[in-house]
Every structure is written in structure tokens, then in C-alpha cells.
């Protein structure tokens, strides 16, 4: 009768190592993909729910963004109506991101520094609003020497943030999970394209797109109505 295979010491000992629980592999896989909040890894939205990414450049301007109201890093109410007439870059991040978000915002800081125009604005939405209070965002924005008039870090209701990110920016956003792309809107609030902010060659293309959109003529303001004299008065 053949002898059974000899067990190694750790296989015989009740104190030997055991196989890691299934959730360890799940969390490790989540941390390895994208920019996730390490303290609370959220699942990536199913493919069917994720918005279709915007093309790098749109031959025809996309839809106008849906108006929204959030809170900026100064604790003031931010109404998106103030973006009309500006060329702006939309993005999603969170302050406690372990690395990619900082690089993403470094790229935005470089763009704003290089294209030094009051008509170019960055709008960065946090996808961790429970932790990213206005005070947290103010301290975070100081790391980039952000001009609050040209760079808005916004927080608020996560449902509103998701609606703006998914619907207008066409960027996926869940708590602690987001895209590292920046999207460009023209002076009329129309989506014009987007590029990855962590790839230097793509950042250069993003700058080029911003400059081209900035060079376009601003939409004419509504003409002032002219009062026509009443013909029955006999006045000229």
C-alpha cells in the first residue's frame, strides 16, 4: 500500500499560514486599478452604467452642460451660470487620493499657468464630498497656488456631482473612483473634447484644444431692444 505524501511542517501545524480571505484579493485588485480611496474602496460602476467617454476632439460641438449649483473651496455657493462666456476644463478628483489626483491637478496648474487668461477656468469636482469639505479643498488648492477666481474646487451633494460628471463631463464618478481625463467646454458651455491628464503628450493636445477654443469669437450678446415710436403720436 503506497505511503501518503509527507506533509510540510506548516501544513501539519494548526498555527501555520492559511489562505487569505477572498476579499483581500478583491481589495488588492481595486487598489491596483485607477484612483481609488484606499480607506473605502468603492466598486467601479458597471460598464452599462458608465458614460461613453467624449472623443479627444469633437468636429461638431457637443451638448451644452446641464446647469448646477455646488460649493467652492471658499465655502461660497458656486452657480455654473458664471461659466458662460468662459473656456473651461472640467475634471474629477478627491483630496485624499494616494497619487494620481495630485499629478492630475499638477497638469491643470501647468495649463492655467501657461495659458494665463482670465477667460480660462478649471472646475474640479470632488468625488469624496463627505471628507472634502470646503476647508479641506481650500488647503488642497493652496498646494497648487490656485487662483480661486480661475480654479474652482467644488463639493456638495454626491448625487449632483455624479449627475454633472456623468452627464455633462461624460466622466465616470463614484465615491473614491473617477477618470483622470480633463474635458473642455467652450464659451457657450458646449463640450468640445477631452484628454488624459496623466500623459504629457495628451496634456499638450489639451492645451492646444483650449487655445483653439479660446481663439474663437465670443458669442454675440443679445442686442438691446430698440423702442419704435408710436406712429399715432406724430413724433419722429
Does a structural domain hold residue 117? yes
Counting residues of the chain whose pLDDT is more than 90, the rounded percentage is 61
Compute the distance between CA of residue 164 and CA of residue 32 in angstroms, rounded to an integer: 26
pTM equals 0.73
What's the number of CA atoms in the CB half-sphere (13 Å) around residue 45?
16
- Asked whether residue 110 is assigned to any structural domain, the reply reads yes
Could you tell me if residue 92 is inside a domain?
Answer: yes
Q: Residue 163: inside a domain, yes or no?
A: yes
Q: Is the pLDDT of residue 210 over 70?
A: yes
Q: Is residue 122 part of a domain?
A: yes
Note whether residue 190 is domain-resident: yes
Angle, to 10 degrees, between the axis of helix 200-215 and the axis of helix 100-114?
A: 40
Structural domain includes residue 54: no
CATH code for the domain in which residue 91 is found: 3.40.30.10
160, three cell numbers: 449632483
**83 part of a folded domain:** yes
Q: How many domains does the chain have?
A: 1
First CA to last CA across the chain, in angstroms? Answer: 123
pLDDT digits (tens, 9 = 90+) for 149-194: 999 999 999 999 999 999 999 999 999 888 999 999 999 999 999 9
Q: What is the reported pLDDT for 165?
A: 95
SS3 194: strand
Residue 95 structural domain = 69-215
Amino acid at each position: 500500500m503506497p505511503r501518503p505524501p509527507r506533509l510540510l511542517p506548516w501544513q501539519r501545524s494548526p498555527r501555520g499560514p492559511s489562505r487569505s480571505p477572498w476579499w483581500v484579493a478583491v481589495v488588492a485588485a481595486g487598489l491596483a486599478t485607477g484612483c481609488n480611496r484606499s480607506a473605502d474602496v468603492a466598486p467601479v460602476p458597471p460598464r452599462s452604467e458608465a458614460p461613453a467617454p467624449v472623443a479627444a476632439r469633437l468636429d461638431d460641438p457637443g451638448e451644452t452642460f446641464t446647469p448646477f449649483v455646488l460649493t467652492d473651496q471658499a465655502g461660497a455657493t458656486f452657480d455654473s451660470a458664471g461659466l458662460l462666456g468662459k473656456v473651461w476644463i472640467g475634471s474629477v478628483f478627491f483630496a485624499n487620493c494616494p497619487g494620481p489626483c495630485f499629478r492630475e491637478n499638477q497638469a491643470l496648474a501647468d495649463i492655467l499657468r501657461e495659458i494665463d487668461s482670465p477667460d480660462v477656468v478649471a472646475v474640479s469636482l470632488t468625488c469624496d464630498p463627505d471628507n472634502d469639505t470646503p476647508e479641506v479643498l481650500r488647503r488642497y488648492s493652496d498646494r497648487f497656488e490656485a487662483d480661486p477666481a480661475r480654479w474652482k474646487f467644488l463639493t456638495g451633494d454626491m448625487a449632483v456631482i455624479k449627475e454633472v460628471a456623468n452627464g455633462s463631463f461624460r466622466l465616470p464618478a463614484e465615491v473614491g473612483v473617477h477618470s483622470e481625463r480633463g474635458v473642455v467646454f467652450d464659451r457657450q458651455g458646449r463640450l468640445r473634447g477631452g484628454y488624459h491628464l496623466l500623459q504629457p503628450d495628451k496634456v499638450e493636445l489639451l492645451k492646444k484644444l483650449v487655445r483653439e477654443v479660446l481663439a474663437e469669437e465670443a458669442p454675440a450678446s443679445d442686442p438691446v431692444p430698440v423702442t419704435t415710436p408710436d406712429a399715432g403720436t406724430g413724433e419722429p
